[in-house]
Amino acid sequence: MRIVTFDAPGPPDVLRIADADPPALGPDDVLIAVEAAGVTHADVMQREGRYPPPPGASAILGLEVAGSVARVGERATQWRAGDMVCALTNGGGYAECVAVPQGQVLPVPSGWSAIEAATLPENAFTVYDNLITRARLTRGEMALVHGGTSGIGSTAIMFARALEATVIATAGSPEKCAACVRLGAAHAIDYRTHDFVMETLRLTDGRGVDVVLDIVGGDYVARDLECLATDGRIACVATQRGRTVQLDLGRLLAKRATILGSSLRPRSAEEKAAIARALRAAIWPLLPRRDPIVPVVDLVYSFERAAEAHARLEASAHIGKIVLTPR
């Protein structure tokens, strides 16, 4: 089978096409013939040598795919050959086929293409687990979502709206701010021209927000704390601006605030399957109607152009999800 790979860590142009043996199929696995694969920041970090796959996971890039079931393992009773599915992989998505534990597989929503469905798994698992399960965002609350036009950010805006929560988003240009509003944000703050702390407090009449979804890290976390209402929660899911945080514990205590952190890829198959079940119950029934959750596809590249896809993601030029296709 054809895969996208690299010989040594480096910039996007280290990516190349190669041939590889098809993956081994475990008894609880589903073999998916890949029609589309989402591009994530985790892929970029792995290509750079900063995010090695966990033990036992495929070394091939790619954490989310959509396609058709080719074969199933002897204990994989949830799926049949020919089913159209999307899946959170443990690696291996930049390939013509990938083996995935059956619990991490979800049906392609009615009316969604494989390319559209490939935008769902990594974003949906991450956002649902962090924004809804862990940070407990509920109806009537307010959330601040950083990077509102990223894959995670756009999904968070739409999931929050599905909960009937109100969203303030940050983004890096007027065009991206407008896109956040189109996706359902009540307000969007251009962080390049405005202080998002001051704007968030202004927009909430000084109260602050109940939840912050932070995909930035570093010095943003202390500023997130200033945006919080009493009993607010900060969910940290990435460290683009650094892993070290300096906080005023007095402010944390005064606000009775909670800071949460999580990483998805190292979790067990059972933990990921639990998130998949929650998504299938709460989110998947909403997807066929495409309101308020819609597919947000930025651009689609062939495997041969994977370097261009990574370069676009690194430049933050995208709105929504970048997708690769084998052909």
DSSP 95: B
* Domain endpoint, select from 209, 235, 261: 261
Residues 308 and 276 in one domain: yes
Q: At what angle do helices 174-183 and 151-162 cross, to 10 degrees?
A: 30
Quote the number of domains for the chain.
Answer: 2
Cβ–Cβ contacts within 10 Å for residue 181, how many?
Answer: 16
User: How many percent of the chain have pLDDT more than 90?
Assistant: 99
Whole-number pLDDT of residue 123:
97
Residues 138 and 206 in one domain: yes
**Nearest one of 256, 246, 253 to 223, comparing CA atoms:** 246
Encode pLDDT of 149-178 as tens digits.
999 999 999 999 999 999 999 999 999 999
| Helices and strands (DSSP H and E) totals, the chain | 10, 15
* Average pLDDT value for the chain: 97
- 158 is in which domain, residue-wise? 124-261
Whole-number pLDDT of residue 169:
98
DSSP 131: I
Cα separation values, 37 from 70, 122, 190, 204, 210, Å: 16, 11, 30, 39, 34
DSSP secondary structure string for all residues of 139-193: TT-EEEESSTTSHHHHHHHHHHHHTT-EEEEEESSHHHHHHHHHHT-SEEEETTT
Encode pLDDT of 250-308 as tens digits.
999 999 999 999 999 999 999 999 999 999 999 999 999 999 999 999 999 999 999 99
Residues 12 and 64 in one domain: yes
**Nearest one of 254, 215, 250 to 234, comparing CA atoms:** 215
Residues 135 and 29 in one domain: no
Residues 191 and 203 in one domain: yes
Q: How confident is the model at residue 327 (pLDDT cuts 50, 70, 90)?
A: confident
CATH number of 285's domain:
3.90.180.10
Residues 90 and 140 in one domain: no
Helix/strand/coil for 287 = helix
Q: Residue 217: which region, alpha, beta or left (left: phi > 0; alpha: psi -120 to 50)?
A: left
Structure tokens at 308: 């261009």
Encode pLDDT of 170-220 as tens digits.
999 999 999 999 999 999 999 999 999 999 999 999 999 999 999 999 999
User: How many percent of the chain have pLDDT more than 70?
Assistant: 100
Overall average pLDDT of the 21-43 stretch: 97
Encode pLDDT of 212-245 as tens digits.
999 999 999 999 999 999 999 999 999 989 999 9
Residues 237 and 271 in one domain: no
* Domain endpoint, select from 226, 261, 296: 261
* Domain endpoint, select from 261, 285, 306: 261
